[in-house]
Amino acid sequence: MVFGIVVLNVLLAQQSFRIDAAERRLEALAVEHLELVEVQATLSAPGRIAAWASRHGMRLPDDIRILRAPSGPADPSGADPASTDGQGGW
Amino acid sequence: MVLALGVVFVRLTVLQVSQAADLRDRAVSQRARTVELPAQRGEILDRSGEPLALSMPARDVYADPRYVTDPWGTARALAPLLRRDPASLVELLRSEGSFVYLARQVDLPAAERIGDLELPGIGFLEASARSYPAGALAPQVLGFVGVDGGGLAGLELGYEDLLAGTPGERTQELDPSGKPIAGGIDVERQPIPGSSVVTTIDRELQFQAQAALEDAVTNQRARGGTVIVMVPGTGEVLAMASYPWFDPNAFAGTRPGVFRNRAVTDAFEPGSTNKVITAAAAVQERALPLDEELSVPWTMRVDEYTIHDAHPHPRLRMTLGDIIAESSNIGAVLVAQRLGPSTMASYLARFGLGRTTGIGFPGESPGIIQPLHEWSEATLATVAYGQGVAATPLQMISVYATIANRGRWVQPRLVSATIGPDGTRRGVPLAPPRRVISADSARTVTEMLAFAVEYGTGGNARIVGYQVAGKTGTARIPDPAGGGYLEGRYIASFIGFLPAGRPEVVIAAILDRPVQGYGGLAAAPLFQRVARAAIARLSIEPAEPVGLPPHALPVP
């Protein structure tokens, strides 16, 4: 019986170490996640994107252009009316 | 011998029985130390959930000078990692006492390298460092935090209670060198993380607004400026920019005045943009038929003052629509005189002037309106064209949002929801809108504002394919030296909304002392640029245009 209690204690201590290790791993992963969120937010920041675009020769358009998709009943044959009709407007 | 043993026995009994509890407590108090466990501060997000502010784990590095064995050696080892001069560190390491900060908010990799050095007397406390990943984006809206992580300005301050969370604490028994004693007391109360705040800000549109504002201030050699973009139906602020601004990641050395969110905290005399209230009151009160042609001179005398229009002109026949389109001060005064001071004052209040909007931003100004009993004829006259009254840019854009929203004033808002530490999202309830003028009256005023853009002073705000409704403003600036106004210095503004027939966005563009003083020349192009960005970002489609108001002045 004494031996059994000792074994139980050892098992409990082992579990306790595993739980500690798991908690530390969880904490580390949470920190890593937060760091990745920060990196993503920094990389996608509009100022950074705009600067990159500008360095690659892109610029904002001077005016608004409105393009309307052609409308009309669907061709039963499955052909795209925009591609067969030269008045597509794109 | 027996006596000696008896004395020892008695002493042991006293120590281990009657004084046991007290001695045990004193022993524990000498070994136990309680440290605060900081709570993870909540994030501030834009309307799409993109982080605008978040807290990264960090460490505060401290020293217990009593255990620092080699101050100079320790200082030289720490200096490159803390980016500090060794001499300044030595001074701290030799100081009196048992605790001194060496550095705050050190990032984890640097803290780990310091820990690897195993320097005696050097310890760490858990901390966090606030990060604003988009840099100088909406800094006056977001605000910033202090070295202890508490909000000091902006939303960081206004929502401090929500963002901060509740710190925890940990009590441990430590040995003389400060290390935890195995098997000793180790009790921890977990911190409760803060909630996150979801703003109404669209970070892409915010960036576009800031870029446009910066270019306008630079090109116009202005002192500064403000841009606000708002959804008229809900009061959501999509962008709010005040130039000059700062980077909240590195704000040390910034002039304190730059921290202010001038869109909310600074009142200015709005000038002709205030004529929309005069017009709305006249339409709602049927003070004059819309097709009545008033005889409008260039100057007129009110009390002991002479007031005049911006440019000399012969006496003109002008309808209310013409008065708005041409921004005639005299015309606005004639209309206001038909309304009378009591009605005029009541409409200023109905449109929200003279009180805060309730946007929930710290330091919001209510603006300035003279009490009605102090009004003279001159007060009525000047208020009619927007001088002698002060309003914030936020109040003014809310006036135009009321027109755009078919006569209903909606409370502006910067925060749409909060997200608790458990991930539960709670919307911030919308305050019910307040009816100011009828929908028909709002439509009529909209026609006048659209007329002003199409044929009047607001031509530089036109956008091909869209009908814009808005008003220019060129306001004189009170002389801070006391009495009168500055000569040749103006606040130029343009406030408007589009599409006029089905408003989806309202924009205020304001420049402080631009070289081209007039609102139509300096501010209208800024409005136009921001409006184009809003159209693209929000996919705003054109709408059926509104008609022209009755007008006497010929149009092309």
Give the ipTM of the model, two decimals please. 0.82
Please check whether residues B337 and B358 belong to one and the same domain.
yes
For an interface test with A, give the residue of B44, B55, B56 to mutate (most A CBs within 10 A). B56
Which chain B residues are within 8 Å of A60, Cβ to Cβ?
Answer: 533
B54–A66 C-beta distance less than 8 A: no
- Residue B41, burial from CB neighbour count under 10 angstroms (0-12, 13-18, 19+): buried
Q: Which residues contact B133 (CB under 8 A, 6 or more apart)?
A: A38, A41, A42, A45, B51, B52, B54
Please check whether residues B41 and B150 belong to one and the same domain.
yes
Please check whether residues B157 and B213 belong to one and the same domain.
no
B108–A31 C-beta distance less than 8 A: yes
Q: Is B228 in contact with B507 (CB distance < 8 Å)?
A: yes
B56–A38 C-beta distance less than 8 A: yes
Which chain A residues are within 8 Å of B208, Cβ to Cβ?
Answer: 46
Q: Is residue B235 part of a domain?
A: yes
Domain end: B199, B220, B252, which one?
B199
Mind listing the pLDDT tens digit for each residue in B416-426?
999 999 999 99
Q: Scan for tokens 């530089």, then name that residue.
A: B460
Which chain B residues are within 8 Å of A34, Cβ to Cβ?
Answer: 54, 56-57
Which chain A residues are within 8 Å of B196, Cβ to Cβ?
Answer: none
Distance (Å, whole) CA B289 – CA B293? 9
CATH number for the domain including B335? 3.40.710.10
What is the model's pLDDT at position B19? 81
Please check whether residues B127 and B225 belong to one and the same domain.
no
Q: How close A77 comes to chain B (CA, Å)? A: 32
- Residue A31 near chain B (CB below 8 Å): yes
B203–A38 C-beta distance less than 8 A: no
- Nearest-by-Cβ selection for B536 from A35, A44, A64: A64
Please check whether residues B250 and B143 belong to one and the same domain.
no
Q: B41 is in which domain, residue-wise?
A: 33-66+76-82+90-167+191-199
Please check whether residues B439 and B522 belong to one and the same domain.
yes
**What one-character DSSP code corresponds to residue B391?**
B
Cα–chain center distance at B478:
24
Q: Is B377 in contact with B201 (CB distance < 8 Å)?
A: no
Cα–chain center distance at B82:
34
Number of domain units in chain B: 2
* pTM metric for this prediction: 0.89
The SS3 of residue B361 is coil
- Nearest-by-Cβ selection for B134 from A46, A63, A66: A46
B135–A47 C-beta distance less than 8 A: yes
Domain end: B153, B179, B199, which one?
B199
Which chain B residues are within 8 Å of A67, Cβ to Cβ?
Answer: none
For an interface test with B, give the residue of A17, A34, A44 to mutate (most B CBs within 10 A). A34
Q: Is residue B547 part of a domain?
A: no
Give which of B141, B122, B167 is closest to B46, Cα–Cα: B141
- Nearest-by-Cβ selection for B51 from A31, A37, A46: A37
What is the model's pLDDT at position A83? 39
| Catalytic residue annotation of B | 272
Q: How close B51 comes to chain A (CA, Å)? A: 6
Q: How close B134 comes to chain A (CA, Å)? A: 5
Give which of B400, B402, B375 is closest to B389, Cα–Cα: B375
Q: How close A41 comes to chain B (CA, Å)? A: 6
B464–A64 C-beta distance less than 8 A: yes
Distance (Å, whole) CA A38 – CA B117? 29
A41–B54 C-beta distance less than 8 A: yes
- Residue B499, burial from CB neighbour count under 10 angstroms (0-12, 13-18, 19+): buried
For chain B, list residues whose CB is within 8 angstroms of any CB belonging to chain A: 50-51, 54, 56-57, 108, 131, 133-137, 203-204, 206-208, 211, 463-466, 532-533, 535-536, 541-542
CATH number for the domain including B131? 3.90.1310.10
Q: How close A32 comes to chain B (CA, Å)? A: 10
Domain end: B199, B216, B250, which one?
B199
Distance (Å, whole) CA B267 – CA B248? 24
Q: Is residue B25 part of a domain?
A: no
Q: Is residue B379 part of a domain?
A: yes
Distance (Å, whole) CA B262 – CA B222? 15
Give which of B503, B520, B400 is closest to B455, Cα–Cα: B520
Please check whether residues B160 and B212 belong to one and the same domain.
no
What is the model's pLDDT at position B152? 94
Please check whether residues B213 and B151 belong to one and the same domain.
no
Distance (Å, whole) CA B383 – CA B387? 5
Distance (Å, whole) CA B255 – CA B258? 6
CA of B542: which chain A residue's CA is closest? Answer: A66
Q: Is B222 in contact with B513 (CB distance < 8 Å)?
A: yes
Please check whether residues B370 and B413 belong to one and the same domain.
yes
Q: Scan for tokens 């608004």, then name that residue.
A: A64
Please check whether residues B151 and B231 belong to one and the same domain.
no
CA of B58: which chain A residue's CA is closest? Answer: A31
Q: Is residue B552 part of a domain?
A: no
- Residue A38, burial from CB neighbour count under 10 angstroms (0-12, 13-18, 19+): middle
Please check whether residues B195 and B225 belong to one and the same domain.
no
Please check whether residues B431 and B469 belong to one and the same domain.
yes
Distances (CA, A) of A21 to A26, A28, B184: 9, 10, 20
The verdict on whether omega for the bond into residue B499 sits within 30 degrees of 0, i.e. cis, is yes
**Low pLDDT (below 50) residues in chain B:** none
The SS3 of residue B119 is coil
Which chain A residues are within 8 Å of B203, Cβ to Cβ?
Answer: 45-46
What is the model's pLDDT at position B184? 72
Q: Is residue B108 part of a domain?
A: yes
Q: Is residue B224 part of a domain?
A: yes
Q: Which two tokens stand for residue B173?
A: 């028994």
**Low pLDDT (below 70) residues in chain A:** 72-90
Q: Is residue B177 part of a domain?
A: no
Q: Which two tokens stand for residue B475?
A: 């306001």
A50–B137 C-beta distance less than 8 A: no
